[in-house]
Structure 1
Amino acid sequence: MSIIVNLDVMMAKRKISSSELAAKIDLTQANLSILKNNKAKAIRFTTLEAICKALDCQPGDILAYENDDGDK
């Protein structure tokens, strides 16, 4: 099982750059890149809330669950 971060998709829909979003949510570009590239092991709710507020979206627009063990 894995959680997929679709942050790059939502950023493209909102036409916002990484540097602009990082500045709005007070996060380093390096940490934002980790999130965008599905390298993060965790995310703080405060960070998720700031991203959702800046992109005017819901957490489900950014995060998705993918069952990768073949079970349904």
Structure 2
Amino acid sequence: MAPAESEDTGILCRLDDLLAARGMTLTQLSKLVGVSIVNLSVLKNDRARAIRFSTLHAICDALDCEVGELLVRTPRG
């Protein structure tokens, strides 16, 4: 059986915070990294189940950040 969509993975995506800090929109990031706004929105809203390393690399390049600034561990529960 597949896990529920609201399953707590213990990973939080800080994409919204990083975009705000850089004065960038999701649309601008989408154009820079070549990933659809829908897919970035899924990531931003912590609904992503997986992310390709190439996408992660492109996002970090565009936002001039490290992976650990984008994805952080959180306590489960």
In the superposition, the TM-score normalised over structure 2's length comes to 0.85
- Cα shift at 1:67: 1.9
Q: Render the CA deviation track for 1:39-68: whole Å, top value 9, x for unaligned.
A: 001111100000000000100110011122
Structure 1: distance between partners of 2:24 and 2:70: 14
Would you identify which runs of 4 or more consecutive aligned residues in structure 1 move more than 2 Å? none
The one-letter amino acid of 1:28's match is S
**When the two structures are aligned, how many residues end up with a matched partner?**
69
**Match in the other structure for 1:43:** 51
**Match in the other structure for 1:25:** 33
**Larger RCO: 1 or 2 (CA < 8 Å, sep 6+):** 1
In the superposition, the TM-score normalised over structure 1's length comes to 0.91
Residue 59 of structure 2 corresponds to residue 59 of structure 1: no
Residue aligned with 2:32, SS: helix
Residue aligned with 2:46, SS: coil
**Structure 2 portions without partners, runs of 5+:** 1-8
**Match in the other structure for 1:34:** 42
Q: Render the CA deviation track for 1:7-65: whole Å, top value 9, x for unaligned.
A: 11001111100100001000001001000000001111100000000000100110011
Residue aligned with 1:4, SS: strand
Structure 2: distance between partners of 1:3 and 1:42: 11
Structure 2: distance between partners of 1:35 and 1:2: 14
Percent of residue pairs bearing the same amino acid type: 41
